[in-house]
Structure 1
């Protein structure tokens, strides 16, 4: 197949769906169909790659919450155990008081008056009763406080236990989703690699295309760089031209689309999220008519592709399997939005 034809297929369908009426399960019968199938499968694998990365990020966050809930549970349990121990310290006093009351112990002032044989004995008995009463009252108050603290601590421990169980359940659910996404991605990658193997060397070269479009002037584009700016990140990214696309890769020698963006901005001191959908919520929105070199541009309704704007309707991106990092027209990909970091 001629290079011009293959390039035309690539430009028209690099991130598009299958042609109308095409059967995705049918084996290609022409070189053009083989390239088309390769492109379609690559697109699907890229979507799955970004989805799997999003779920992995979600799982990481859920595991952090689970750990925090487990720590809270351990601390609450320790407090509850200590509170119950405090209650046990006062239990003998409470038991003696209850038994004395049950047995009809005479511990009031009237009893002292009735049983005293002399004024001095009366004073002594009343003084002793005051001391015992105060001591018992104090200990009963302490017992009550300890009981209230134990009740509150046990309630907190139960709440922490429920929280930890819920966090573990959510983490397990996300982990199962991640395993499903990874299985789907693994299958998609196998199909892409298989389809790649059906292409001739000439078709592979045509599919890879040129690293720069005609007339692209990198030196003029990068004049007057501002340290830490988006243009500086673009300059860093341009040093990776020709590096291969690899699912889940973040550099320095191979990338997926969001991995390239993350790596480029890391070189200028900015830490941006890992996936395209997360990156679409970072920085500030930019209207398409106000794009400047170094802005981050997103594509598709599910924001499953991302690149760095390179001016004149072009973008730097890690395209797809078989296509190295390159500068390409944005018009070949359904535009979604843009952000400035």
Structure 2
């Protein structure tokens, strides 16, 4: 099962993992003899598990980004270290000439024109000495300038290398933090899934049928929805999604056999060549914002105050979504869930 993440969840989530009351009062558990209470408890547990699932998807996105940043920082570090090695090699190339010049001056060598005049025995010898001094001076000046440039390059490369090393170290630590958080949420989700499964197993056949409901509202079917679709990529994604009506819900699934809410959206848009983010929160941050009054079939609609549920607008106030465990992919009234926002891709 695929897992990923989103935003931080309430710390009290683990308290929901207990499906019934303590053993000492099990006989008085109202859930055992109350179908409505049993379904309400399952709905609450399922809502918490969906929040965690979308949080996992969001966390996986964050981890992927952090690992990419880590790879970039490590690549910069390697490049900066190569530049530093090249600059140091340049210093080594010109250091002997500079060292000889320093040593010669320290030992009293004379390399100026006045000295050439003083020691020359003839005009020709003077010209020869001055020509030689010019050549030496030019070569020396060039070597000194190159050595200075190499030294400057080495200093800059060393600083860049230190900075990129710090960035790589920070990126690695951040990726590790997000990875640890992801693992914690995976464990948390598994605990919640166990609770949902236990609660579901306690339902009667009639309660399970009530939970599953119908795949379309009364008077609505796929043909009616498709007949009113305007042209556009959103409508094409909705059309693809409608072919999955009746498929089961499964945490972290992206089809084609089962889906979670954001997984159905991802799969539907993949069928028309568009790649959407994996989490409901990330999906509602992309695309173009759409006012509720301006919704068109195929728009992405998010629900609840943390945008932890998402579906595809099907027109006329209905939404196609993978809602919860025990309920197949269906078209349902959008008003049944608190509206968060919408996007158009």
- Aligned equivalents of 1:297 and 1:78: distance in 2? 50
CA RMSD of aligned residues (A): 1.9
1:98 matched to 2:107? The reply is no
- Per the normalisation by structure 2, the TM-score is 0.87
2:290 aligns to what? 286
Quick check: 2:302–2:341 contact (8 Å CA) kept in 1? yes
Are positions 1:48 and 2:52 aligned together?
A: yes
Aligned residues of 1:245 and 1:318 also touching (Cα < 8 A): yes
**How far, CA to CA, are the matches of 1:257 and 1:310 in structure 2?**
15
Q: Which residue of 1 aligns with 2:32?
A: 29
- Is 1:116 matched with 2:120? yes
1:257 aligns with 2:258: no
SS in structure 1 of the partner of residue 227 of structure 2:
coil
Q: Identify if the C-alpha distance between structure 1 residues 314 and 226 changes in structure 2 by more than 3 Å, giving closer, same or farther.
A: closer
Question: Distance in 1 between the 2:239 and 2:120 partners?
Answer: 103
Aligned pairs for 1:170-189 (under 5 A) are: 170-189=174-193
Q: C-alpha distance in 1, partners of 2:126/2:269?
A: 90
**For structure 1, which runs of at least 5 residues remain unmatched after alignment?**
1-21
What secondary structure sits across from 1:29 in the alignment?
helix
Q: Secondary structure at 1:44's aligned position in 2?
A: helix
CA contact (8 A) 1:24 1:37 kept: no
Matched, 1:301 2:305: yes
SS in 2 for 1:222: helix
Is the contact between residue 228 and residue 269 of structure 1 (CA under 8 Å) also seen in structure 2?
no
| Equivalent residue number for residue 272 of structure 1 | 276
C-alpha distance in 2, partners of 1:200/1:225?
39
Task: Give the Å deviation of 1:84.
Answer: 0.3
Q: Which runs of 5+ in 2 are unaligned?
A: 1-15, 22-30
Where does 1:1-341 land on structure 2 (aligned, <5 Å)?
26-27=20-21, 28-32=31-35, 33-223=37-227, 225=229, 228-341=232-345
Say if 1:31 and 1:199, in contact at 8 Å, map to a contact too.
no
Give how far 1:130 is off: 1.8
In structure 2, what is the Cα distance between the partners aligned to 1:340 and 1:163?
36
* Number of residues of Structure 1 aligned to a counterpart in Structure 2: 320
Asked whether the 8 Å contact 2:261–2:310 carries over to 1, the reply is: yes
- Contact 1:69–1:167 at 8 Å: present in 2 too? yes
Cα distance in 1 for residues equivalent to 2:291 and 2:139: 77
Deviation of 1:326 after TM superposition, in Å, equals 0.9
Deviation at 1:271, TM superposition (A): 2.1
Per-residue deviation at 1:116? 2.4
C-alpha spacing 1:93/1:199, structure 2 compared with 1 (3 Å): same
- 1:273-296 CA-partner distances (Å, limit 9, x unpaired): 211111112222222223232222
Q: Which residue of 2 aligns with 1:5?
A: none
- Quickly say closer, same or farther: Cα 1:219–1:104, change in 2 above 3 A: same
